């Protein structure tokens, strides 16, 4: 990996380079995506069937688009029992973590006749998109479905592209059933997002769409926002390791590569105060790359978006980490908890040398759907909050309103909204 002395100029160059990975940089695909969405909106199932045959080389019909109970049972027979047990252990941890996020309605009643409150209501229908293609991610199935189920969503609908045999990956189906999905449809790409957003003869419109996907899926979610809610516009995966001279270079190298193997656009960055550690990590990376199965992807990722940055002070290192606002941040310093208190921007923070990033991907419980491309400065991980809405509750008695009706009328009059003022005043006409 390239080793760079951290300067203000280098920091600016790196931030600019990382922004090139954002889905917002791929405007040339927007017209194609919009054409697909418009087609699905006007032609419904017919468009879904045509695009599935065109892109996935699979023929689906109104009878075969929805996964059946028989197909789910077949999937369970094809998945190793040990893996099913692991999925259930992971599911338990994810569920218990998200149950701590549950919000409840509240009401505050006072003796003067006022009652204020907040009513929490789960969304009625949520769509979960699950990608096919390069890899299968049952962990993402769990992470997207479980918080929706914990929130109390009434109906959870999953869409995923079929394989060449016209079926959904068995482990994807098993994970979906274990997590509590209600319906699964064999359709992917921008056309699946259109179906969830607008509805078709087979797939009913949802209130919100969540889940990762390729650039066409990301741009489709961006385009339908407003018709439905979405979780975020996800970019490529990224990891930043913040380390000092106490860090184990072999662990650091392994963790950087755990994200670089996702795809060619993934980002892996080490910021350290130790030039010696930087050199050792670079050597360990070279050794690991020779052994790993996704070598070609890793090399392209590291060449384009991999950095080892050597900072003069830990303060400078932390400042740079906050500027990058990485999806995953590992802290391997002498006192990681102290370092963590100075971190403002990160999707998920992993403390200490035994808290590597895959722990969060698969098993610990916190959600692995995280803000990318610097959006951790203002976005949070997917959570139960993403699947609820809140309504304000206001109730005043006549006595309570009478005490302040003049103030409201004066306020409304100051804004020249006389009908607002009259709406209050009419209740106290003599």
Round to whole Å and give the CA distance between 260 and 197: 32
328 in active site: yes
- Sheet containing 125-129: order of strands: 183-186, 155-160, 125-129, 208-210, 229-230
Round to whole Å and give the CA distance between 224 and 159: 16
Long-range contacts of 58-66 (CB under 8 A, 24+ apart): 58/162, 58/163, 58/164, 58/166, 58/186, 59/166, 60/162, 60/166, 60/186, 60/187, 62/201, 62/202, 64/166, 64/186, 65/185, 65/186, 65/187, 65/202, 65/203, 66/183, 66/184, 66/185, 66/186, 66/202
Tell me, rounded to whole angstroms, the distance of Cα 264 from its chain centroid.
19
Catalytic one among 98, 262, 328, 368? Answer: 328
Catalytic one among 178, 261, 327, 330? Answer: 327
Straight-line distance from the first to the last Cα atom of the chain, in angstroms, rounded to the nearest whole number: 82
Round to whole Å and give the CA distance between 28 and 21: 14
Strands 267-272 and 306-310, bridge-based pairing: parallel
Long-range contacts of 47-52 (CB under 8 A, 24+ apart): 47/191, 47/194, 47/200, 48/187, 48/191, 48/192, 48/195, 48/200, 48/202, 48/203, 51/189, 51/191, 52/161, 52/162, 52/186, 52/187, 52/188, 52/191
What torsion do the CA atoms of 245, 246, 249, 250 make, to the nearest 10 degrees? 180
Dihedral sign from CA coordinates of 383, 384, 388, 393: negative
Look at residue 338 and give its three-state secondary structure.
Answer: helix
Secondary element (H or E) of residue 393:
strand 388-396
Round to whole Å and give the CA distance between 57 and 217: 18
Q: Where are the beta strands (DSSP E) in 187-282?
A: 208-210, 229-230, 238-243, 267-272
71 in active site: no
Secondary element (H or E) of residue 207:
none
Catalytic site positions: 327-328
């Amino acid at each position: 990996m390239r080793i760079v002395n951290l300067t203000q100029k280098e920091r600016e160059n790196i931030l600019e380079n990382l922004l090139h990975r954002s889905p917002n940089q791929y405007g040339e695909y927007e017209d194609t995506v919009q054409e697909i969405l418009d087609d699905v909106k006007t032609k419904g199932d017919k468009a879904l069937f045509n695009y599935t045959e065109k892109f996935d080389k699979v023929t689906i019909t109104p009878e075969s688009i929805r996964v059946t109970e028989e197909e789910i049972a077949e999937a369970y027979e094809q998945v190793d029992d040990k893996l099913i047990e692991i999925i259930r252990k992971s599911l338990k941890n994810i569920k218990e973590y998200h149950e701590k996020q549950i919000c409840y309605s509240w009401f505050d009643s006072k003796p003067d006749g006022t009652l204020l409150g907040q009513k929490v209501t789960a969304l009625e229908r949520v769509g979960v998109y699950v990608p096919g293609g390069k890899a299968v991610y049952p962990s993402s199935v769990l992470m997207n479905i479980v918080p929706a189920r914990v929130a109390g969503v009434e109906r959870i609908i999953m869409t995923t592209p079929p394989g060449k045999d016209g079926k959904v990956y068995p482990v994807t189906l098993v994970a979906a059933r274990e997590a509590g999905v209600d319906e699964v449809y064999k359709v992917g790409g921008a056309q699946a997002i259109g179906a969830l957003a607008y509805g078709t003869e087979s797939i009913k419109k949802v209130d919100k769409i969540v889940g990762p996907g390729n650039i066409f899926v990301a741009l489709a979610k961006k385009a339908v926002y407003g018709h439905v809610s979405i979780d975020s516009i996800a970019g490529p995966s990224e990891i930043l390791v913040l380390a000092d001279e106490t860090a184990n270079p072999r662990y650091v190298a392994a963790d950087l590569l755990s994200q670089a193997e996702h795809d060619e656009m993934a980002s892996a960055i080490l910021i350290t105060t130790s030039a010696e550690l930087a050199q050792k990590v670079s050597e360990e990376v070279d050794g690991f790359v020779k052994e790993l199965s996704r070598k070609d992807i890793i090399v392209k990722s590291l060449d384009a978006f991999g950095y080892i940055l050597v900072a003069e002070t830990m303060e400078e290192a932390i400042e740079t980490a906050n500027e990058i606002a990485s999806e995953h941040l590992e802290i391997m310093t002498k006192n990681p908890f102290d370092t963590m208190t100075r971190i403002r921007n990160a999707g998920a923070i992993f403390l200490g040398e035994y808290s590597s990033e895959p722990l969060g991907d698969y098993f610990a419980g916190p959600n692995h759907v995280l803000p990318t491309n610097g959006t951790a400065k203002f976005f949070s991980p997917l959570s139960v909050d993403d699947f609820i809405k809140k309504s304000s509750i206001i109730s005043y008695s006549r006595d309570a309103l009478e005490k302040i009706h003049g103030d409201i009328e004066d306020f409304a009059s100051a804004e020249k909204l006389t009908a607002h003022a009259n709406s209050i005043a009419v209740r106290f006409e003599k």
